[in-house]
Amino acid sequence: MQQQIDAVLLDMDGTILNSIKSAERVWTTWALRNGIDVESFLPTIHGIQAVETIRRLALPGMDPVAEAAALTLAEIDDVAGIEPIAGAANFLAALSPYRWAVVTSAPRELATRRIQAAGLPLPPLMITAEDVPNSKPAPDGFQLAAEKLGTTAGKCLVLEDSPAGILAGERAGSQVLVITATHHKKMENNYPAITDYNDLNFATDANGALEIRGVGNDSHIHFVLK
């Protein structure tokens, strides 16, 4: 079924680029220094702000804001191995005449560094951790991006990879398409999912709209971006 959309809102980590190696190197060092079991801890760091990850641990005598700031600096310094999700560059190039944004839980400086390290273009609009009071799974980031693009989140397509991001898109009332390139386990949700952007076909129709088609999870994907 064809669905009309006004804009495309993309998460960053795990959605347009893969920064797992870089992030997990930094967080592993931090976890070991603080006596935290690395194997059980690392799966919890993705898709939410670093300060929220640290707050949830409730470590005695630790200032989550200061720790998150130090971690961010370490992540900015370590971008080795960051690479684009397959087909992401072509997809972003196709979006460039239209309304689109990156919505991430990362701080702006880190997001900019990672996008550049992946060799991807900086988006025309980027909503980062500094821009909203509540991070994913709250819908604030997607709602603000839609507002700045002159529409509402309910008329946008959200591309996400993490449970927190998917829930944020759902709460925003957006259409959601899941990218599974960095996930080894199947996530339980009701949204269409593709491995990467090579699973999509996109082309401009006679009216100048961008048609985005594909097949994911046995469901047909057909969005039209004016």
**Would you tell me how many other CB atoms lie within 10 Å of the CB of residue 36?**
15
Beta strands in 125-209 (DSSP E): 126-127, 156-160, 175-179, 193-194, 200-204
Q: Is 218 a catalytic residue?
A: no
Check: CB of residue 135 under 8 Å from CB of residue 141: yes
User: In this structure, what DSSP letter does residue 55 have?
Assistant: H
Among candidate residues 6, 13, 78, 161, the one labeled active-site is 13
What does the angle CA 23 – CA 28 – CA 32 come to, to the nearest 5 degrees? 155
Handedness of CA 65, 70, 76, 81 (dihedral sign): negative
Among candidate residues 6, 11, 78, 161, the one labeled active-site is 11
Q: Is 13 a catalytic residue?
A: yes
- How far apart (Å, rounded) are the C-alpha atoms in residues 107 and 7? 23
**Would you tell me how many other CB atoms lie within 10 Å of the CB of residue 180?**
18
- The residues annotated with a catalytic role in the active site are 11, 13
